[in-house]
A = this chain, B = another copy of it.
């Protein structure tokens, strides 16, 4: 099994959540992990929990980038941060994948400095899963959206690359046979939107090896129409944060209701058992893995709020991506023009 470099610092719950997540994985699987961060703190947390020492190594990093830190200056000046040290392990080929729950903007900026873009790709995309209603039995309850914040505006070329990479990721990692790819737009009409969107629509339709189902509108995002939703970073970032806030609101309502209203709590509990859609909505932010796609290396960004189980999921996704050949599959799909 490949070794996964895990950036221990930077998550909102600190090193404890990350180390505990990796410790659990070490007992459940044959995945090797390299914990990168403050060695003394990591060892202390490991000493307090059960883990398999044959599966875990530690690499010291002198600095850490905080979740709330200004990302531009962090990327410029903190080259000894655990994030950078972990990325360099992967770039040098000593690890097969990297996982971080830290500052997303710093993760993107540092990756653009330390990793190598895939042939033909001009920019990376952050992908994120989100919950949607499945249209048929067996359909994944999560769809993939990209880009959700590595870019602001995109060219038609870049949107096509995002589509190819997202489709490949869904095929290799989520095991969707022919992922339905859609372009986020204001309407179904192929000419809808501006020149970039209509050009992207035309090129996606004509692209070999892509199951393009056309434009998708805002109200269809939570339907099963698309497995992969393609958009520029500004749009994806705002849409995903909005979806996440709705999910968080549902969870917060339950929690806040506990001391105040047994009726509301009962209502939420009943809904959670009655509706798969709402349960998925409430759970998804702890799901784990959002890939940063476009590099020759595997990078899985765990949510900043990840607790130990979400870290464990992210590590498993990273190991799976390395083991199942995500990068060679991406190269083949991008070359198939």
Contacts and interface: CB of A to CB of B under 8 A. Distances in A.
A274 interface: yes
A33 to B, nearest CB: 31
Interface string A203-221: 0000000000000011111
Contacts of A222: 242, 245-246, 249
Interface residues of A, number: 49
A274 B270 contact: no
B270 A264 contact: yes
A185 B277 CA distance: 28
Nearest to A231: B238
Interface in A238-285: 238-246, 248-249, 253, 257, 261, 263-264, 266-271, 273-275, 277-278
A193 B234 CA distance: 7
B218 A242 contact: yes
Nearest to A246: B246
Contacts of A238: 184-186, 217-218, 235, 239
Given A152-B194, A249-B277, A274-B261, A242 B267 contact: no
Contacts of A264: 270-271, 274-275
A149 interface: yes
Contacts of A235: 234-235, 238
A237 interface: yes
A153 interface: yes
Given A242-B221, A243-B242, A267-B274, A233 B186 contact: yes
Contacts of A270: 263-264, 266-267, 270
Contact of A244 (B133, B153, B187, B219): B219
B266 A234 contact: no
Given A152-B186, A233-B186, A235-B234, A241 B267 contact: no
27 contacts: A152-B186, A152-B193, A152-B197, A185-B234, A185-B238, A186-B233, A217-B238, A218-B239, A218-B241, A218-B243, A218-B244, A218-B245, A219-B242, A219-B245, A219-B248, A221-B245, A222-B242, A222-B245, A242-B242, A242-B243, A264-B270, A264-B275, A266-B267, A267-B269, A267-B271, A267-B274, A271-B271
Q: Which 9 A-B pairs have the closest CB atoms?
A: A218-B241, A267-B270, A264-B274, A219-B245, A218-B238, A218-B242, A219-B241, A267-B271, A267-B267
